[in-house]
Chains A and B, each alone.
Chain A
Amino acid sequence: MCQIKRISLSISLVLISFYSFSQQNYTISGYVKDAGTGEELLGVTLFVEEIKNGVVSNPYGFYSITLPEGEYNLTLSFIGYETLKKKIKLSQNQSLNLQLSESTTQLQEVVVEAEEEDHNVKDLSIGKSEINIVQVKNLPALFGEPDIIKMVQMQPGVLTAGEGTSAFFVRGGSADQNMILLDEAPVYDPSHLFGLFSVFNADVIKSSELYRGGIPAQYGGRLSSLLDVRTKDGNTNRLSGAGSIGTLASKIMLEGPIVRDKSSFIISGRRSYADLIAKAVGQSIPVYFYDLNAKVNWKPNNKNRFFLAAYLGRDVINFDDGGIGWGNKTTTFRWNHLFSERLFSNTTFAFSDFDYKISLDDDTQGFEWTASMQEATLKKDLTFFLNPKNEISFGASATYRRFSPGRIVPKGDRSIFTTVQLDKMYAMDYAFYLGNTQQITDRFSVQYGLRYSIFQNTGKADVKIYEDPTDNVDINVLEVRKYDRFEPIKTFHNLEPRFSARYTLNDASSLKASYQRMIQNIHLIANSTVPIPFNTWAPSSLYLDPQKSDQISVGYFRNFVSNTYEFSTEIYYKEMMNVTDFADNAQLFFNEDLATEYRQGDSDSYGIEFNVKKNEGRLTGFANYTWSKTTRVVPDVNQGMEFLSNFDRRHSFNIAATYQLSERYMLGANFVYYTGRPITLPTGRYEFDGYNVDLISERNGYKLSDFHRLDISVTREGKKNSTRKWKTSQNLGIYNVYNRRNPFTIYSRTRQNDDGDVIGDGSEKELRRVSLFPILISYAWRVRF
């Protein structure tokens, strides 16, 4: 009942907005582009002075605003670009494509008088961080490879498992609760080399935004966050490119028009080469990764635009007698269509694939083990720019998923292995949503929406019915139910209301609030803190309920010194239900009765975040502090008692800043500090059959010592030379400047000397603290043309 009321409430709100619609209105619409590259710009604020209101260009760079007949002064502003002022006379519907030039004022000594953007205060968005890709490239990076995931990990409310990993934990959520989209296709494992790098090549990324809260109804599927990464479309004006040679990886990117102003392409490749260098000096580091991004677009007219994007990335480890490989493949086809100046539509077909393969060549122990998952999504998103006060979005999506948790095939005639195929799992997923962004008064705006998601675990499947599905020792199968292809096994219906509001206190400050319910129907099968590529996923089913979360957050946003400094603070409380966990000692690999290992529990997270940002001027960057606490209660884990979640760090402090020293030199620095993550340590030991066994009494009862690290970098631009077509730059970075031994983990072993020989009678145990990176120097040479 309650849910029906909520729907009728949103519908009536939309209807109210229709009544306020007036007849003498005209629409001005079009795309906002970068003047230099022709790239569409998303998130550009288009402000109409006369009505003291504006719109923001959508993820495809499109804007539309409907106004009564008259003359208007438009102001377009966007971080890193010159503010554009334009006078228009509106007497009919008008299509107007706008171009912004990259700002060069950054270097001038004088403070720019022009008004800076105030979207921190005026936007409805709460819990959102934009990852500034230019900044990412100028900041120090591990092994000199700019990585947006490492920058995501430094945002307020975001925690990591430690350096050198690509997993991130948002507001108490686990790593699998982040929806990571690359051109709208989900990426299941964002890591290369077990997390040293992410799959995102900074050269091709146009924008990336992280939502920790205030997620619009258009998005769903994960509990905790949305990381929306979009790649460049390709320079429409001229052939250009970039490349770099770094300490660990090199890459090249080429972009340009196919038919000027009609179509363009971008292609980029990256490969790590520690393996090649090692080989050259007679050593062996048999690990490498590569990735390829490619995209073409075709814009036959203003009404229709087509995009085709693909990503392929793979990690490879080669041994003498076998190998391991894993990787993501994604493909996105997108069609932007304007039904009218005010009705924008986007149709996306996205395909994602993740797979891994482990193989061993051996006379008797040879095998090949493969696992994969695929998903194909068709979705339609529509935005109706009703009037300057209402922007209605609605759409639907359908997703087909296939999970292949594992297959072992013997290799060689004498292999002791036999072919075993774990049952594949299938699911269909449908979602419908309707939302509106509405300006209620000059000061008060709201965004509300409702998402209805249907998730169906379907055949073909032989589903085991267990006498006790939580007994992983004595497994007793009562019956096996057979389901045909596409026959529903279990269906879940969920309503996900979303709401956010902003009240402007004055020109420089506002209050914001949001509520969101999120549903997650696919579950990562991992009981480690950091997922590894060999983890598989499973759909909601008879044995796994959808994970649910409710989050409320309230924030105060304030700009200082004419919007030069953006400050915000947010308090959040998040309740997660049916969070997927696993019994102690769960066997997650190649288990035919995996369902008996599932344990779902509840988790609470709350915290306060403070963030200050400076986007313009010689000094740019951000600093933030987060206090948070996350606990879990899961049956059969820690004897059913509450424990601190693996992702609990009480304090977290991050600074990232770049300073333009002179025309050619840019300095960058990062500093991070956080409380050590919880860890389970033994409290006793006992003897069994000659083994010296740890006794564990409490999960996550200890904390690693605090983590802190300073990195610095300097970027040197090549000399300006107008005869040359290319520009070079060099980047030198020092990671972990004061060479701190930051704890990564602690493990227990029988006491040993440095050669690994047991000391004494083997009764003595010791705790070993592992650190990953000492001081590291990196260097990269970059070229743009």
Chain B
Amino acid sequence: MTSNKQFFYVFKLFIFASIIASLVTACNNLEQTITPDLNQASPRYVIEGLVTNAATTQQVTVSRSTGYYNSGATEKISNASVVIEDDAGNIFTFEESEDTPGRYTANFTGEIGRTYSLLVNIEGELFEASESMLPITTIDSLTWEIDEEERQELEEDNDDSGEYYDVFLFTREPPETEDYYLFKFYTNGVIENDDAQEVYFSDDAVIGESIDGLEIGFFYALEDSVTVEMYSITRNAFLFFSDLQTLLNNDGGVFGPIPANLRNNISNGALGYFQVSAIDRESIVIGK
């Protein structure tokens, strides 16, 4: 039958085409940026407060959310009244900074064990939050070491950045208490958080007592100054940072959870968080 022969010919063509197609496939871009019309959410206030036992000046920033497609800095809210009261009855009134609108500061040092209540008044709208300063364990030491594997890899890639040093953290996690931590890592004073796409936090649910050389996950070059900050946070704050990490890395809810707003501790629908933390900080210079 001739049709059979013709078909066999077509068949062979297909096999040839399949080889071509798989090459095409390799170059196919399966991800692209799109700009669907989005409803504009009505703007909401964002309050970002931080009280620590390490700073003498505490800071609260008040801003507003903006449309998803709007770029640039978001609107800062001036002329708000910002007050923090602690459980010893001390009242700290915040003043708006003259050169940075929307940034409010007050001079005091947080104390471990105290509970701080924030009250923000924006044109008659009141926003409240309350948070306790929990104790923090201390970082015993930081050490550095050459990562041979990384060094070889950089060599193969002709990368002469010299970033092949690991830094290790030694500490003790008190097993008798339920603790939550936030970490910040700085290299030569610049924060490391994958361009603001990663948050580093932990609870102690599955963590043992001795943290004996935990690799902190970045590669450093000789003479880099590395600083690790460890913050004590409340369960509330832990959930906020965990929600933040989930949202920053969401996949649109296919295999991961459906995106949702972060749980926080501020009343009246304001976004942001009022964080109160004790801090322990440790630095090391690679090669020294």
Residues of B within 8 A of A714 (CB): 7, 11, 14
Q: B236 an interface residue at 8 Å Cβ cutoff? A: yes
- Interface set, chain A 754-770, CB cutoff 8 A to B: 757-758, 760-770
Given A684-B66, A765-B68, is A697 in contact with B46 using a C-beta cutoff of 8 Å? no
Q: Of A382-390, A508-516, A685-693, which stretch is located at the interface?
A: A685-693
Nearest-CB distance from A210 to chain B (Å)?
Answer: 23
Per the 8 Å Cβ criterion, residues 210-259 of A in contact with B are none
Q: Is A107 an interface residue (CB 8 A)?
A: no
B212 touches A416 (CB 8 A): yes
- A49 in the interface, Cβ–Cβ < 8 Å? no
Does chain B have a CB within 8 A of A745? yes
Is the CB–CB distance between A528 and B255 below 8 Å?
yes
Given A415, A664, A765, A776, which contacts B208 in the complex, CB threshold below 8 Å?
A: A415
Contact string against A for B residues 244-274, beta-carbon threshold 8 Å, 1 for contact and 0 otherwise: 1011101111111111111100000001110
B30-72 contacts to A, CB under 8 A, are 30-36, 38-41, 43-44, 46, 48, 63-72
With A688-B272, A775-B21 as given contacts, are A763 and B71 in contact (CB-CB < 8 Å)?
yes
Contact B30 A530 (CB under 8 A): no
A681-724 interface with B by 8 A CB criterion: 681-702, 714, 716
Residues of A within 8 A of B209 (CB): 418
A369 to chain B, nearest CB (A): 9
**In-complex Cβ contact of B261 among A161, A681, A696 (8 A):** A696
Assuming the contacts A473-B263, A683-B68, A741-B32, asked whether A664 and B4 have C-beta atoms less than 8 A apart, the reply is yes
- On chain A, the residues within 8 Å of B3 by CB distance are 661-662, 665
Taking CB atoms and an 8 Å cut-off, the chain A residues in 769-785 that contact chain B are 769-772, 774-779
User: Which residue on B lies nearest to A749, using beta carbons?
Assistant: B197
The stretch of A32-40, A263-271, A542-550, A581-589 in contact with B is A581-589
Q: Is the CB of A732 closer than 8 A to any CB of chain B?
A: yes
A529 in contact with B18 (CB, 8 Å): no
Among A414, A681, A696, A749, which residue has its beta carbon within 8 angstroms of that of B212? Answer: A414
How long is the Cα–Cα vector from A473 to B238 in the complex, in angstroms?
10
User: Is A748 in contact with chain B by the CB < 8 A criterion?
Assistant: yes
Which of A367, A527, A661, A763 is close to B257, meaning CB atoms less than 8 Å apart?
A527
> Is there a chain B Cβ closer than 8 Å to A410's Cβ?
yes
Interface flag for B242 (CB, 8 Å): yes
Q: Which of chain B's residues has its CB closest to A683's CB?
A: B41
Contact between B31 and A770, CB atoms less than 8 A apart? yes
14 CB-based A-B contacts, threshold 8 Å? A364-B213, A528-B258, A532-B255, A585-B260, A683-B38, A684-B44, A688-B244, A695-B44, A741-B30, A745-B252, A750-B196, A763-B73, A769-B32, A774-B24
Please state if B71 and A764 are interface contacts (CB–CB under 8 Å).
Answer: yes
Count of chain A residues with Cβ under 8 Å from any Cβ of B? 95
Instruction: Find the A residue at minimum CB distance from B48.
Output: A688
Enumerate the 4 nearest inter-chain pairs by beta-carbon distance, A residue then B residue, closest first. Answer: A777-B18, A745-B252, A418-B208, A584-B260
Contact: A528 with B214, CB < 8 Å? no
Q: Is the CB of B33 within 8 A of A690?
A: no
Known: A420-B205, A662-B1. A161 touches B254 (CB 8 A): yes
Given A686-B44, A694-B68, A765-B68, CB of A748 within 8 Å of CB of B250: yes
Cα distance A750–B198 when bound, in Å?
12
State whether the Cβ of A296 lies closer than 8 Å to any Cβ in chain B. no
B126 touches A (CB below 8 Å): no
Q: How far is the CB of A751 from chain B (nearest CB, A)?
A: 8
**Contact A771/B7 with A473-B236, A528-B253, A732-B15 known, Cβ cut-off 8 Å:** no
Q: Are A528 and B7 in contact (CB under 8 A)?
A: no
User: Chain A contacts of B30 at CB under 8 A?
Assistant: 741, 770-772, 774
Pair count A-B, CB < 8 A:
261
Partner of B206 from the list A418, A683, A732, A761 (CB cut-off 8 Å) is: A418
A746-B252 in contact given A683-B38, A695-B65 (Cβ < 8 Å): yes
B281 surroundings in chain A (CB, below 8 A): none
Q: Which residues of A contact B152 (CB under 8 A)?
A: none
- Contact in complex: A585, B74 (CB < 8 Å): no
Smallest beta-carbon distance B33→chain A, Å: 5
CB pair A693 B48 closer than 8 Å: no
Quick one: given A732-B14, A749-B197, A763-B73, are A768 and B31 in contact (CB under 8 Å)?
A: yes
Please state if B260 and A696 are interface contacts (CB–CB under 8 Å): yes
Q: Which of B168, B211, B252, B271 contacts A747 (CB 8 A)?
A: B252
The answer to whether B208 and A689 touch across the interface, beta carbons within 8 angstroms, is no
Enumerate chain B residues within 8 angstroms of A474, measured Cβ to Cβ.
235-236
What separation, in Å, do the CA atoms of A583 and B171 have in the docked complex? 35
Contact A680 to B258, CB < 8 A, known contacts A416-B211, A473-B263: yes
Contacts of B31 in A (CB 8 A): 768-771
Chain B CB within 8 A of A417 CB:
yes
Q: Is the CB of A690 within 8 A of B196?
A: yes
Contact between chains at A693 and B247 (CB < 8 Å):
yes
- Say whether A679 faces chain B, with CB atoms less than 8 Å apart: yes
CB neighbours (8 Å) of B65 from chain A are 684-686, 695
- Interface 0/1 of A455-475, CB less than 8 Å to B: 000000000000000001110
Q: Given A416-B214, A690-B191, A701-B39, A762–B34 Cβ distance below 8 Å?
A: no
Q: B22: CB under 8 A from chain A? A: yes
* B260, chain A: closest CB distance, angstroms: 4
Provided the pairs A685-B65, A741-B30, A769-B31 are in contact, do residues A646 and B258 lie with their beta carbons within 8 angstroms? yes
**Alpha-carbon distance between A662 and B2 when the two chains are bound, in angstroms:** 11
Chain B's closest residue to A161 (CB) is B254
Judge whether B254 and A586 touch: CB under 8 Å.
no
Residue with the highest number of chain B CB atoms closer than 10 Å, among A585, A681, A777: A585
- How distant is A169 from chain B, measured CB to nearest CB, in Å? 13
B188 within 8 A of A: no
Structural contact, A530 and B255, CB atoms closer than 8 A:
yes
Q: Tell me the complex Cα distance, A106–B35, Å.
A: 51
State whether A766 touches B33 (Cβ < 8 A): yes
Decide if B17 is an interface residue (CB 8 Å cutoff): yes
Partner of A416, one of B18, B46, B191, B207: B207
Given contacts A417-B206, A473-B236, A685-B68, 12 further A-B contacts (CB under 8 A): A420-B206, A528-B255, A585-B242, A586-B257, A679-B252, A688-B46, A692-B196, A745-B254, A767-B34, A768-B33, A774-B24, A777-B21
